[in-house]
Amino acid sequence: MGESCPDFPKYRAEKYEVLMAQLTFVEAIRQGLWEEMERDPNVFLLGEDIGTYGGAFKVTEGLFDRFGEERVIDTPIAEGAIVGTAIGASLMGLRPVAEMQFIDFISNAFDLITSFAAKYRYRAGASVPIVVRGPCGGGVHGGPFHSQNVEAYFVHTPGLKVVEPSSAYDAKGLIKAAIRDDDPVLFFEHKYLYRRIKDEVPDGDYIVPIGKAAIRREGADLTIVTYGWMVYKSLEAAEQLREEGIEAEIIDLRTLLPLDDEALFNSVKKTGKVMIVHEATRTGGLAGEIAIRITESVFDELDGPIIRITAPDTPVPYSPPLEEAFLPQVGQIVSAARWLSKY
Using DSSP bridges, classify how beta strands 20-24 and 198-202 pair: parallel, antiparallel or unpaired: antiparallel
**What DSSP assignment string belongs to 22-83?**
EEEHHHHHHHHHHHHHHH-TTEEEEETT-STT--TTSTTTTHHHHH-TTTEEE--S-HHHHH
Between the alpha carbon of residue 291 and those of residues 96, 151, 166, 261, the distances in Å are 35, 16, 22, 11
> What pLDDT, on the 0 to 100 scale, is given for residue 2?
54
Cβ neighbors of 316 (< 8 A, separation 6 or more) are 138, 142, 143, 144, 147, 148, 323, 326
Between the alpha carbon of residue 315 and those of residues 79, 104, 106, 108, 148, the distances in Å are 22, 12, 17, 18, 8
The rounded distance, in Å, linking the Cα atoms of 264 and 275 is 11
- pLDDT tens digits, one per residue of 302-322: 999 999 999 999 999 999 999
Radius of gyration of the chain (CA): 20
- pLDDT tens digits, one per residue of 154-210: 999 999 999 999 999 999 999 999 999 999 999 999 999 999 999 999 988 999 999
User: Which band of pLDDT confidence, cut at 50, 70 and 90, is reported for residue 232?
Assistant: very high
Percent share of the chain, pLDDT over 70: 94
CA 65 to chain centre: 28
**What is the mean pLDDT of the segment spanning 69-76?**
98
Question: Phi and psi dihedrals of 109, rounded to 5?
Answer: -115, 15
278 is catalytic: no
User: What angle (nearest 5°) sits at the alpha carbon of residue 55, between those of residues 179 and 39?
Assistant: 30
Partners of residue 83 on adjacent β-strands: none
Cis peptide, bond prior to residue 202, ω within 30 of zero = no
Is the pLDDT assigned to residue 107 strictly greater than 90?
yes
> What pLDDT, on the 0 to 100 scale, is given for residue 204?
86
Terminus-to-terminus CA distance in the chain, angstroms?
A: 27
Is the pLDDT assigned to residue 255 strictly greater than 80?
yes
The dihedral built from the CA positions of residue 21, 26, 32 and 33, taken in this order, carries a sign that is: negative
> What pLDDT, on the 0 to 100 scale, is given for residue 11?
33
- pLDDT tens digits, one per residue of 7-38: 444 433 333 345 678 999 999 999 999 999 99
Beta-carbon-side half-sphere exposure of residue 48 (alpha carbons within 13 Å): 16
3-state helix, strand, coil in the chain (%, to 5): 40, 20, 40
The rounded distance, in Å, linking the Cα atoms of 170 and 207 is 8
**Catalytic option among 141, 146, 156, 278:** 146
> What pLDDT, on the 0 to 100 scale, is given for residue 13?
32
Where is 238: in which H helix or E strand?
A: helix 230-242
**300 exposure class (CB count in 10 Å sphere: 0-12, 13-18, 19+):** exposed
- pLDDT tens digits, one per residue of 73-100: 999 999 999 999 999 999 999 999 999 9
Domains and CATH numbers, the chain: 18-202 (3.40.50.970), 214-342 (3.40.50.920)
